[in-house]
Amino acid sequence: MQLSKGITILNGAPALKTFDQQILTLPTLFCVNETEASIFSGQLIHSISDAELAAKKLIAKGCKSVLITLGEQGALYLTEDSNKPALRVVSPKVNSIDTTGAGDAFLGGLAYFLAVKGYTIEKAIEAACIVAADSVTKFGTQISFPGPEILKSIKI
């Protein structure tokens, strides 16, 4: 699936137990981690199957598409198109030192690969998983984020 420029991405962090449900209907893409997905959907997540069920519940609440980051297990993407199965993207295996900011690195990478590189959503998620995986191999947040040279070197 190709998403065109002008899409809206809503990062669900930090998740609120009480919120206006209409907010879920506004973005093109609703992106959350496992904990946030559990809070927004009401579905506890202990497995990939649970994450897919949470994504389906978020779609039922009005999301157009849902992207759940799963840490070292990668990410899961689901759209409101019931004919398309959930997409599971696996993260590269790395020696994780500090996971602080990995979600921010993921979202920044996702936006970059969609807007600047023009990747399809599937390829952008795969590239964003690489960016997030790279970011956890160093201490800190901003200093662990890949710079332009790394971003330009990622080819999917």
Q: What is the CA radius of gyration of the chain?
A: 15
Which pTM value belongs to this model?
Answer: 0.88
Predicted local distance difference test score (pLDDT) of residue 30: 97
Q: Are strands 75-79 and 29-33 parallel, antiparallel or unpaired?
A: unpaired
Predicted local distance difference test score (pLDDT) of residue 17: 83
Among residues 20, 81, 98, 104, which one is catalytic?
Answer: 104
- Structural domain boundaries in the chain: 9-153
> Per CATH, is 9-153 categorized as 3.40.80.10?
no
Residue 56 CB-half CA count within 13 A: 14
Burial 20-48, CB ≥16 within 10 A → b, else e? eeebbeebbbbbbbbebbbbbbebebeee
Distances (CA, A) of 21 to 7, 17, 51: 20, 11, 19
Consecutive sets of 10 residues in the chain, 156 residues long: mean pLDDT of each? 70 88 93 96 96 97 97 96 91 90 92 90 95 87 68 68
Please tell me what DSSP assigns to residue 95. -
Active site annotation includes 104: yes
- Name the helix (H) or strand (E) containing 57: helix 48-60
- In angstroms, the CA 38 to CA 16 distance is 11
